[in-house]
Amino acid sequence: MKIAVIGTGYVGLVTGTCLAETGNNVICVDIDANKVGKMQESIVPFYEPDLESLFKRNIHNGTLSFTTNLEEAVNESLIIILALPTPPSEDGSADLSYVLNTAEAIGKLMTSYKIIVNKSTVPVGTADKVRETVANYTKHNFDVVSNPEFLREGVAVNDFMKPSRVIVGTRSEKVKKIFSELYAPYMRQGERLIFMDERSAELTKYAANAFLATKISFMNEMAGLCEILGANVEEIRRGIGMDDRIGKQFLYAGVGYGGSCFPKDVQALAKTAIEIGGDFRIVDAVMKTNYAQREKFLDKIINYFGANLKGKKLAFWGLAFKPETDDLREAPALYLIEELLKEGVEIVTYDPVAMENTKKQLGDKIGYAKNQYECLEKADALVIVTEWKNFRNPDFDQIAEKLNDKVIFDGRNLYNLERMQELGFYYNSIGRQLVQPKTSN
């Protein structure tokens, strides 16, 4: 099928590449000429594991191409997928200007029947707004489909190629037939393809993200209880996760969820509830807990140093909002760094892939180490914010040797408490007992 994907971010480029991989002809459009130039030279413009080989293969095969020219893409395609940003507006609702401006442009440019697909995360009623907008500018027939995306950064290709489900919001039988064919290569006998009305599809996306965020905030609250009651949140996680009704995933306590989606989508859902005259009390609590969680972690560091905080040097392992991505949007590390800088703390960081993006944001306000051990040189404590694999089993002798004091604040519970006790570290993690070096008397 001939497909245009508008917006080549994490969602658009992965979608375009994976659709090309199964034999479609995909033309990707982006407003950012610099980015398009890179992609035309076969350079993937961001870090996403497993994307590059598919991306290069399909460019080479001629099934994947890039342009800044929307008209060309609209003319050549039957299906036009919008994978555009929907950032939070000042009041917390989703900003639909990218989607609606593009809908207007498509309406003006189209010269035959098109299927306009919304893959961006958008509030209920957006499909209707897109339909109205396009209709204002064209006399040609078209359908508008809500096809929310559930991929995760870091495993995006796998999530697209083997989706847990694909939601297609449409009432058109013609579109259902076309989408059954389009998604057939990614389905096991089609049982994961779910058709519903557009409004339900739009709300399903928010329900999924808000529910996952709720699991995380629940566990973060539980971690707070564990610290006071002398329990271990990792045992609670294992103990409840074995129950299939609860499930093992998204039960990891930490420094609070970040990323470009959970914070904005949970907030947008709360805003939707307010707009219709109600409120969504659970979602409000989820947001509060999430912000409190990173503040609590910050307080642990501040309280440890007390009056001596100013002038201390801290080593940060991890900057991205989660491992396997260079995305810093709403990354808890950035919040912690900004707050500690205000306290006069010196910060040196290491992240396997997010350093370049961090430099763009923070410049020389912080230091950037070549590797995780250089980062520790003469620091007063190590702060772990992202659970990259290479932080999981480090050389503790080097850590002890390089740090001024054997002090670790671990926002991701990477290490075993007994081991840290044996090694003589001060080790402050999440929802587990504080480990302090034994004092000899």
Ligand X SMILES: O=C(O)[C@H]1O[C@H](OP(=O)(O)OP(=O)(O)OC[C@H]2O[C@@H](n3ccc(=O)[nH]c3=O)[C@H](O)[C@@H]2O)[C@H](O)[C@@H](O)[C@@H]1O
Which of 3, 7, 175, 267 forms a contact with ligand NAI (CB under 6 A)? 7
Site residues for ligand X per CB under 6 A: 121, 149-153, 209, 212, 216, 250-252, 254, 257-259, 261-262, 321-322
Nearest in space to 368 (alpha carbons), one of 325, 344, 337: 337
Nearer to ligand NAI, 67 or 413 (CB): 67
Question: How far out from the chain centre does Cα 189 lie?
Answer: 29
150 is in an annotated binding site: yes
Smallest distance from ligand X to CB 34, Å: 24
Interaction between residue 30 and ligand NAI (CB under 6 A): yes
The total of other beta-carbon atoms located within 10 Å of residue 422's CB is 11
- Contacts with 74 (C-beta within 8 Å, 6 or more apart), sequence order: 4, 80, 106, 109, 110, 114
Interaction between residue 153 and ligand NAI (CB under 6 A): yes
Nearer to ligand X, 250 or 396 (CB): 250
Smallest distance from ligand NAI to CB 54, Å: 17
253 is in an annotated binding site: yes
Nearer to ligand X, 153 or 227 (CB): 153
35 is in an annotated binding site: yes
Interaction between residue 74 and ligand NAI (CB under 6 A): no
DSSP letter at 310 equals: T
Binding mask 85-114 for ligand NAI (x = CB under 6 A): xx-----------x---x------------
Q: How far apart are CA 100 and CA 297, in angstroms?
A: 40
Residue 196 pairs in a beta bridge with 169
Q: How far apart are CA 79 and CA 71, in angstroms?
A: 14
Question: What are 282's two structure tokens?
Answer: 């659970």
Smallest distance from ligand X to CB 326, Å: 12
Smallest distance from ligand X to CB 271, Å: 16
Catalytically annotated residues:
261
Q: Is 309 exposed, middle or buried (0-12, 13-18, 19+ CB in 10 A)?
A: middle
Question: How far out from the chain centre does Cα 364 lie?
Answer: 26
- Contacts with 349 (C-beta within 8 Å, 6 or more apart), sequence order: 315, 316, 317, 319, 333, 337, 355, 358, 366, 367, 368, 369, 375
230 is in an annotated binding site: no
Which of 24, 67, 77, 121 forms a contact with ligand NAI (CB under 6 A)? 121
Interaction between residue 220 and ligand NAI (CB under 6 A): no
Q: How far apart are CA 110 and CA 130, in angstroms?
A: 14
Instruction: Give the CB-nearest residue to ligand X.
Output: 261
> Do residues 384 and 392 lie in contact, with contact meaning Cβ atoms separated by under 8 Å?
no
Nearer to ligand X, 27 or 333 (CB): 333
Interaction between residue 15 and ligand NAI (CB under 6 A): no
Nearer to ligand X, 195 or 206 (CB): 206
> Do residues 70 and 109 lie in contact, with contact meaning Cβ atoms separated by under 8 Å?
yes
Half-sphere exposure of 157 (CA within 13 A, CB side): 16
| Residue 209 site contact among ligand NAI, ligand X, none (CB < 5 to 8 Å, cut-off depends on kind) | ligand X
Nearer to ligand X, 160 or 195 (CB): 160
Interaction between residue 31 and ligand NAI (CB under 6 A): yes
Instruction: Give the CB-nearest residue to ligand NAI.
Output: 9
Residue 168 pairs in a beta bridge with 195
Interaction between residue 149 and ligand NAI (CB under 6 A): yes
66 is in an annotated binding site: no
322 is in an annotated binding site: yes
329 is in an annotated binding site: yes
Interaction between residue 72 and ligand NAI (CB under 6 A): no
252 is in an annotated binding site: yes
254 is in an annotated binding site: yes
Q: How far apart are CA 72 and CA 20, in angstroms?
A: 18
Which of 63, 260, 293, 349 forms a contact with ligand NAI (CB under 6 A)? 260
- Contacts with 12 (C-beta within 8 Å, 6 or more apart), sequence order: 5, 6, 28, 30, 81, 83, 84, 119
> Do residues 153 and 132 lie in contact, with contact meaning Cβ atoms separated by under 8 Å?
no
Nearer to ligand NAI, 85 or 92 (CB): 85
Annotated binding site: 30, 35, 86, 121, 150-153, 205, 250-254, 258, 264, 322, 329
Positions in the binding site for ligand NAI (CB under 6 A): 6-12, 29-32, 35, 83-86, 98, 102, 120-121, 149, 151, 153, 260-261
